[in-house]
Amino acid sequence: MDVFNKCSQYTQAKDAMKKGFYPYFIPLDENEGTEVEFEGNRLIMCGSNNYLGLTTHPKVKAAAKNAVDKYGTSCTGSRFLNGTLALHERLEHELAVFVGKDQALIFSTGMQVNLGTISTLIGRDDVVILDKDDHASIVDGARLGYGKIERFRHNDMDHLARVLKSIPNDRGKLIIVDGVFSMGGDLADLPGLIPLAKEYSARIMVDDAHGMGVTGRGRGTAAQFGMTDDVDLIMSTFSKSFASLGGFIAGDEDVIHYIKHTARALIFSASIPAANASAALAALEILREEPERVDRVNAIAERVRTELDAMGFNVGESVTPIVPVIIGDNDKTFMTWKLLFEGGVFVNPVISPAVPQGSQLLRTSYMATHTDEQMDRVLETFKKVGKELSII
């Protein structure tokens, strides 16, 4: 038996390439935020997580450039040893204050935040309880831990209550949810979840990768509900609203201290370069100074949801700048993507196992820097393609 046999037997992507319906790993020639270029063609980007439009902001770019001049291109070591800069600690302090927690800790990517935090907190006598729509990084972090994994149906508080009731009282319990769910654009039911967590002595972690900069006046989903003090850990990433690369976990001092000294994903990874830390810090400063960006991106999303729904598209339960267009069939999802792409609109097709069979969708997402004219073109293109494929 050859361990590589599975590689030659995997033909799904190659089959899609032969059919001309391969929408992944598209090499873009330019990326100017709201527009990108592919093979000489301009497309309106409606598939990015650059919610506040800060990746091309002059202040963010200048911060990254200045950091390279001062610190070089890499820290060449882990946070644990030689890779911590005073800049990292400044950013951690500012993030903790921003989200309303004692301390924050920066990891090299958002994925590593979840891998490191969850695996180091969940021991053999603990149970981690996940929403079935939680991000893959949460699931993988739970798998790396030595505890038991339980799942509850998406935002189903009755099912969560039954799961919690079934767990012995002497087991440690951590409930983890996305603040904003990355495919559906809906929010975690924190008002329903938090009382249950308190009743069954469970801790709560919110992954706000897609909520930071978008909900709660930019401070995240817990802030949206006025429940920051009721959430134990808040996680987010720099690769979305913070226009950089990296991620952080924020919580009580003793918990962050423990994670800092035990999380393998932190201790055995190189720290983010100064350019990334400086860019994230600049983005945070802009978010504080220009809260109208949060209003703008949500207003754009509300317009898109309303108009797509009026056309006859299924946009699910979204209340955020992530607006799914649910198609429900693989081939039609790819065909819709292809016609939109050819019409100058870049979106992301999502099929099983990322979403359940029958829920295949186009994941669209919007930026505060999209113009009204760009949204006119996007909506017109959706209408044309929807009619051509008899979706609407």
What is the biggest distance separating any 2 CA atoms in the chain, rounded to whole angstroms? 62
- Sequence length of the chain is 392
Backbone angles phi, psi at 389, to 5 degrees: -100, 5
Dist. CA 321–CA 185, nearest whole Å: 7
Catalytic residue ranges: 182, 210, 240
**Do residues 150 and 124 touch, judged by C-beta distance below 8 A?**
no
Dist. CA 75–CA 108, nearest whole Å: 11
| Encoded amino acid at 180, one letter | V
Dist. CA 213–CA 221, nearest whole Å: 10
Helix (H) or strand (E) holding 322: strand 322-326
Task: Tokens for 137, please give them.
Answer: 């990084």
Backbone angles phi, psi at 70, to 5 degrees: -85, -40
Task: Tokens for 73, please give them.
Answer: 């291109």
Task: Tokens for 387, please give them.
Answer: 């009619």
